Structure 1
Amino acid sequence: MKTISNKYMAEMTMKEMVNVNGGEKKEYLSLSWSGTDNELVYAAEALCNGVKILANGCIWIYNQFQD
């Protein structure tokens, strides 16, 4: 199989991809971990990241309807 090179293709960041279709798509939230040994802080971070994962799912659904 021959590889076709396209010099007009460029790698884009998430912020650039969001604006491809007129900027209507929402950007995903990023998860964060502090690497703490404190169980209470870890539990709070896990809860916060769980909410962010749910929000990212909603954002994904929203983005599917934006063209």
Structure 2
Amino acid sequence: MGEALGKRVRAYRKLKHLTQQELANLLGVSVAIVGGIERGTREPSQDILTKISHVLGVSTDELTGNHV
């Protein structure tokens, strides 16, 4: 997933007009975690991935690239 996931998270975050800090606040994590996910250097847990999908209004499959 890594870098591709990070690019999708960043793109959807920007579509929602959220900063990394705002997304981090909504997820209950640090901005460093959001930054790491977006850079592809940090793999989110399933729980965080689910929270990201809810906040950004997309499915986890869409975020991970597993959509058909």
TM-score (norm 2): 0.29
The structure with the largest alpha-carbon Rg is 1
Which structure dedicates a bigger proportion of its chain to helix?
2
State TM-score, norm by structure 1.
0.29
